[in-house]
Copies of this chain bind each other. A is one copy, B any other.
Amino acid sequence: MKTIKIGIAGLGRLGLIHADNIYKMKHVELTAISNLDESVNKQVQEKYQVPYAYTTYEEMIENDELDAVCIVTPSGFHTSHIQLALEHDLHVFCEKPIGLEVEEIKQTCKVIDKSDKVFHLGFMRRYDQDYLYVKEMIDRGDIGDISIIRSYGIDPIAGLESFVNFAKKSPSGGIYLDMSVHDIDVIRWFTNSEVTKVWATGNNKVFPELNELNEVEMSTATMQLENNTTAFLVAGRTASHGYHVETEVIGTKGMVRIAATPDKNKVTVFNDQGVVRPTSQSFPERFREAYVDELKDFVRCIRGQTKPEVTAVDGLRSTEVAIACQRSLEKNKLVEIHYEG
């Protein structure tokens, strides 16, 4: 079996996870890395015996050995990095979001559309066994027509300080682009319908200083879909109990909840606090296997064994909805979304 050679761009927290997952795959080589910080590069190169290391993305994609790139650079670079890779005839795995600006994304979609290379977008929840189990229930009709979806993504408060530092340096695009795109994608995936109206709210009751950064620590978005489903999202950064990702689907035949409690494992502790279930503390912990499985799927796509589940248009739509949420939050008004053909 031919070895697929992958170069990774960006070695932040998530980039290191992807690097590790690529390295561990059989018949796959982590052939190159590109990242600004040379000391990180050196460590990664040694740990995984990576043949090539670069400080810029542009250098890396000139490497002729590469079959594919995995883009984990800051969101603002995604569209240009995708286009560059496709121009160099490389398969592309790109972390969400596909971009921060609608026009750029639309243009990138066209480039992707014309290319015969694989384009794979990092909506890892689509590879999570729990989400897949519910998607199958929905598709089988087990829960009937969907009336309401509720989806939460709340980061642990332990990570808030590092977020604030991060947000001071580079704009996150707002909490909806940064976090809710995952929930928005799940809503579209589960319902096969598009969001048409949103009303978003938020506040900074723990960290009022976030007001100055134009960020919110806790936010909601209520959405109406074409098929008259209502969706309610919570995105936040101040969960005291861990990393709370939860999705609920209320259908005409039943209701399901994914991760109603963000259990870390199957252990229950009975101590002086009561009956305690330990919780997941981070997205790498919660979605560890989903991150592995999405890259495995990317490699299967490269080998021509399957097609990507998520398309560039999925990335575009999620971004459009997230941007509408952000606008609604800022104006405290209902915002309608109009999609072009």
Residue in contact with A274 in the complex, picked from B130, B145, B276, CB distance below 8 Å: B276
CB distance from A236 to the nearest CB of B (A): 8
Q: Is A263 an interface residue (CB 8 A)?
A: yes
Contact B218 A222 (CB under 8 A): no
Residue in contact with A267 in the complex, picked from B150, B256, B272, CB distance below 8 Å: B256
Contact B267 A258 (CB under 8 A): yes
Contact B261 A147 (CB under 8 A): no
Residues in A221-268 with C-beta less than 8 Å from chain B: 222, 224, 228-230, 232, 234, 236, 238-242, 244, 250, 252-268
Counted per complex, copies of this chain come to 4
Q: Is A159 an interface residue (CB 8 A)?
A: no
| Complex interface: chain B residues within 8 A of A253 (CB) | 240, 271
Q: From known contacts A147-B218, A218-B148, A220-B222, infer whether A279 and B268 are also in contact, taking CB-CB under 8 Å.
A: no
| Complex interface: chain B residues within 8 A of A276 (CB) | 273-277
| Complex interface: chain B residues within 8 A of A277 (CB) | 274-276
Q: Is A42 an interface residue (CB 8 A)?
A: no
Chain B residue at minimal CB-CB distance from A256 = B269
Q: From known contacts A26-B24, A232-B232, infer whether A271 and B254 are also in contact, taking CB-CB under 8 Å.
A: yes
Apart from A236-B250, A241-B254, 10 more pairs, CB < 8 Å: A144-B205, A239-B270, A240-B254, A254-B271, A257-B267, A257-B268, A258-B267, A273-B276, A275-B279, A333-B334
